[in-house]
Amino acid sequence: MASMIGMRVKRKEDPKLITGNGNFTDDIKLPGMLYAAFLRSTHAHARIKRIDVSQAVELPGVVAVYTGEDLTGKIKSVPTSWYVPGCNLKAKDRSPLAVDKVLYVGEGVAMVVAEDRYTAYDALNAIEVEYEELKAVTGQEAALKDGAPLVHEDVKNNLAFLWKAGDVPDEAFTNAEVVVRERYYEQRVVPNPMETRAAVAQYNSGSGDMTVWCTSQNPHIHRMVYAEVLGIPESKLRIIAPDVGGGFGAKIGVYADEAVVAYAARHLKRPVKWMEDRKEHFMATNHARDEVIEVELAGKRDGTMTALRVRNTANMGAYLSTMGAGVPTICFGLMVTGAYAIPQAAVEVYGVYTNTTPTDAYRGAGKPESAYQIERAVDAFAREIGMDPVEIRRKNFVPKEKFPYDTAMAVTYDSGDYMLTLDKALEIADYEELRREQEALRKQGRYLGIGLSTYVELCGLGPSKVAGAIGLQFGQWENATVRVHPSGKVTVLTGASPHGQGEDTTFAQVVADKFGVPLEDIEVLHGDTQMIPMGWGTYGSRTTPVGGAAVAIAAERVTEKAKKIAAHELEVSTEDLEFSDGIFQVKGVPGHQRTFQEIARSANMAWNLPEGMEPALEAQSFFDPSNFVYPFGAHICVVEVDSNTGQIELKRYIAVDDVGRVINPMIAEGQVHGGLAQGIGQALWEGAVYEENGQLISGTFMDYTMPKADFFPVLETAFTETPSPVNPLGAKGVGETGATASPPAVVNAVLDALRPFGITHLDMPLTPEKVWRAMQKGRKEA
Ligand code: MCN
């Protein structure tokens, strides 16, 4: 049987989902269930002078209305942000519903619980809130200025934290032959999974057991936090993430809303459901990015880059959300040197409170921003010295022989061959020919642009020892159980919690590969804290390199035990056995064999086991990797800019990624496609816009452009395979590669097209209007 690893197997989970048989949170209907709706702040910054719920409570069908004051002392505040060391983090716990003050549009002010959803929404209109509006601040640079409105009165200059890493003496810049100084704005984006957030809570007042079904990417983390908030022991709190319709980082954060729903279920002794609507989602679910990034890159005229200094002023919103502070610090800061052997680097990150929705992880979380600044700056450097963007990259790549490679930011890249992916991408693109075509078209007044991005990113969160060395007080290992039933069918339990990524299939492939059993014989279960011992969830492209590795290790343990049983039955030593295609075969004695299924039965019937062996065929692994994994690649984007309209036509997009050993190329390609849609979406179309008074004016799909399939050309994807040495699968994560690599590839391409106009930078999104205006200005100056 051919290895199941590397096979293009169709996703096992899809028939259920595409035939309407999925079980999403909103599909859960319990007897006596009530419906909740939140009243959300319409002001970005205001004092709550009075809340009158008397009319709402009187409406027929309304069961309860809660305000922040009602909950004070009943449940705890939701802790915000994991601890990030050495940055004087001024985290502010947030009360489950606002008390006294609201700090952003969309903050929860009250919650209605009613017999049906319509009544709950009607009752929201009957609540009167008297606000005293205060001056708001939405931009991070404005918020840092003296005299700016204070989001939290005791946090001076709204500075939530100042994180620094690395050190570069000024002389590295003053004495350099070339220094480029750039300033980029990574605009704010709104993660938009198909399914918005939702929760159903059920409390058993007899036993004190609470079950919460919710749209979580990491149910065990939700359990850890909500146990504390609700005052329910973890052993009595069950969090279930049923089918989850995408998350993209927005469902990592532990929000207050779900805790309030659970509180109501306990208080009212009836199940309560809440389903966020899309407009609410735009305001109340975490946003992402929103970073002003200033870069100084020094080097020599021959193209050697020698020093990098980066300052990131990050808009954290009104509170630090769960992963919020980790994104611009650890995830962004440690990756600033990208794929290049830049010997000296330093980063400063200013995390700033503003009167906006909190920001948190979004596909790539810090790494796209980091790839953007270095890939844009490398192009600026190449332009400055008149070097081709390909050549400058080749000159500065970390060479293949240098891995594992310690970067100037004190992280160790596990493995890599950056030249390999670049060469392959150039070959697919036919780079030389593209440059000739560009030249020829320019003579006809047509503007073709070719953009490169040769990225590397940090994935596989996260090795506990490395996390500890950085000063973090938590690591993220992963748990797997592989259980073989008497029939030889297999159940796999994983602490990861996929929500669209396809691990039901790829983890089954890992096990099928080990046991030689058909894929159909393997079920992968996840997302239920009562069923699974512990886990850290799905994000940070960690599920395969960490969770998949745990599955592989547990499966290997099962195989070892099965082999001992087979050897015992066949009366040979384990060394005399070979195991392939699901058969334990005595070497050189045809027919003297046992099938995997026979051994599964023996292990469970247990009447003839080796002396001292415990029955059953099951193994567990708690895998904690020794390092992160660092996928990399080369992306090339080809665009044509219409000089009359500023319209950008995406002509080609080539993505060559190296994610180590690929488990399922079809799923991995799908992940690259999805990531590209988000990254290119950020480069060209998406962007959240706040008015000065803090109103989110891009709060619906009418004002916020989500990319659609027909916006894209056929995406040309390929993989090279440089295995990672840090896990037994040799796999690195693929989930974020597209989102990380593509924004700079697209922007570099557009600016390459606009070179004749003397335009060197435009901030994303590159809307036709922005491009057209820049061209008009460029023309006038020319
Ligand atoms: N895979 C593979 N070979 C590899 C690496 C991965 O075949 N070498 C497969 C995996 O086994 C899995 C998929 O590719 O089926 C993605 O795996 P991995 O790279 O480990 O990433 P995660 O499963 O940890 O997913 C997280 C990543 C992130 S961070 C975001 S955000 C994101 C994404 O995945 N959100 C998604 N992809 C998403 N896809 C969907 N449909 N929905 C989301 O919310």
Residue whose Cα lies nearest atom 40 of ligand 1: it is 500
Distance 553 CA to ligand 1 centre (A): 20
Closest atom, ligand 1, to C-alpha of 544: 20
Alpha-carbon span 265 to 57, nearest angstrom = 17
Alpha-carbon span 334 to 373, nearest angstrom = 13
- Per-residue confidence band for 471, with pLDDT thresholds at 50, 70 and 90: confident
pLDDT tens, residue by residue, 669-719: 999 999 999 999 999 999 999 999 999 999 999 999 999 999 999 999 999
pLDDT tens, residue by residue, 40-99: 999 999 999 999 999 999 999 999 999 999 999 999 988 777 778 888 889 888 899 999
pLDDT given for residue 782 in this prediction: 61
Mutate to test the pocket of ligand 1, among 506, 513, 544 (most ligand atoms within 8 A of CB): 544
Distance 396 CA to ligand 1 centre (A): 30
Distance 551 CA to ligand 1 centre (A): 16
Residue whose Cα lies nearest atom 13 of ligand 1: it is 501
Helix (H, G, I), strand (E, B) or coil at 575: helix
Closest atom, ligand 1, to C-alpha of 543: 24
- Per-residue confidence band for 475, with pLDDT thresholds at 50, 70 and 90: confident
Q: Which two tokens stand for residue 329?
A: 């610090």
Regarding predicted confidence, which is higher, 163 or 468? Answer: 163
Residue whose Cα lies nearest atom 41 of ligand 1: it is 500
| pLDDT at residue 592 is higher than 70 | yes
| pLDDT at residue 500 is higher than 70 | yes
pLDDT given for residue 18 in this prediction: 95
Distance 702 CA to ligand 1 centre (A): 29
- Per-residue confidence band for 467, with pLDDT thresholds at 50, 70 and 90: confident
Distance 84 CA to ligand 1 centre (A): 25
Q: Which of 459, 450, 460 is nearest to 744 (CA)?
A: 450
| pLDDT at residue 442 is higher than 70 | yes
Q: Which residue has the tokens 């979004």?
A: 362
pLDDT given for residue 462 in this prediction: 82
CB 26 within 8 A of CB 275: yes
Q: Which two tokens stand for residue 702?
A: 């009418």
Q: Which of 126, 574, 614, 167 is nearest to 347 (CA)?
A: 167
Residue whose Cα lies nearest atom 22 of ligand 1: it is 541
Closest atom, ligand 1, to C-alpha of 663: 7
- Per-residue confidence band for 103, with pLDDT thresholds at 50, 70 and 90: very high
Q: How far is CA 652 from CA 368, 655, 702, 720, in A?
A: 21, 10, 28, 20
Mutate to test the pocket of ligand 1, among 501, 519, 740 (most ligand atoms within 8 A of CB): 501
Alpha-carbon span 600 to 221, nearest angstrom = 34
Mutate to test the pocket of ligand 1, among 331, 671, 673 (most ligand atoms within 8 A of CB): 671
Closest atom, ligand 1, to C-alpha of 547: 20
Mutate to test the pocket of ligand 1, among 734, 737, 740 (most ligand atoms within 8 A of CB): 734
- Mean predicted confidence (pLDDT) in 491-510: 98
Distance 501 CA to ligand 1 centre (A): 4
CB 726 within 8 A of CB 627: yes
ipTM comes to: 0.99
Distance 667 CA to ligand 1 centre (A): 8
Closest atom, ligand 1, to C-alpha of 246: 44
Distance 363 CA to ligand 1 centre (A): 10
Q: Which two tokens stand for residue 699?
A: 């709060």
CB within 8 Å of 213: residues ≥ 6 apart:
25, 28, 199, 200, 201, 240, 241, 242
Distance 340 CA to ligand 1 centre (A): 26
pLDDT tens, residue by residue, 166-206: 999 999 999 999 999 999 999 999 999 999 999 999 999 99
Closest atom, ligand 1, to C-alpha of 361: 31
- Mean predicted confidence (pLDDT) in 606-617: 97
Strands of 520-568, DSSP E:
522-526
- Mean predicted confidence (pLDDT) in 157-172: 97
pLDDT given for residue 2 in this prediction: 79
Residue whose Cα lies nearest atom 32 of ligand 1: it is 248
Distance 500 CA to ligand 1 centre (A): 8
CB within 8 Å of 318: residues ≥ 6 apart:
103, 104, 107, 151, 353, 354, 355, 356, 357, 358
pLDDT tens, residue by residue, 292-347: 999 999 999 999 999 999 999 999 999 999 889 999 999 999 999 999 999 999 99
Distance 734 CA to ligand 1 centre (A): 6
| pLDDT at residue 566 is higher than 90 | yes
Q: Which two tokens stand for residue 228?
A: 């504390």
Distance 735 CA to ligand 1 centre (A): 4
CB 249 within 8 A of CB 239: no
Cβ < 6 Å from ligand 1: which residues? Answer: 193, 246-249, 363, 498-503, 506, 538-544, 548, 659-664, 667-668, 671, 674, 731-736
pLDDT given for residue 774 in this prediction: 97
- Mean predicted confidence (pLDDT) in 613-617: 98
Strands of 378-535, DSSP E:
405-406, 412-413, 447-456, 478-484, 490-494, 522-526
Domains recognised in the chain with CATH numbers = 14-134+194-246+251-284 (3.90.1170.50), 288-461+627-781 (3.30.365.10), 477-623 (3.30.365.10)
- Mean predicted confidence (pLDDT) in 568-589: 97
Residue whose Cα lies nearest atom 8 of ligand 1: it is 662
Distance 671 CA to ligand 1 centre (A): 6
Alpha-carbon span 171 to 175, nearest angstrom = 5
Output b/e per residue, 176-191; b: 16+ Cβ within 10 A: bebbbebebbbbbbbb
**What stretches of 685-767 show up as alpha helix (H) in DSSP?**
737-753
pLDDT given for residue 292 in this prediction: 98
- Per-residue confidence band for 1, with pLDDT thresholds at 50, 70 and 90: low
On whether the pTM is more than 0.90, the answer is yes
Q: What is the mean pLDDT of the chain?
A: 97
| pLDDT at residue 151 is higher than 90 | yes
Amino acid in position 696: L
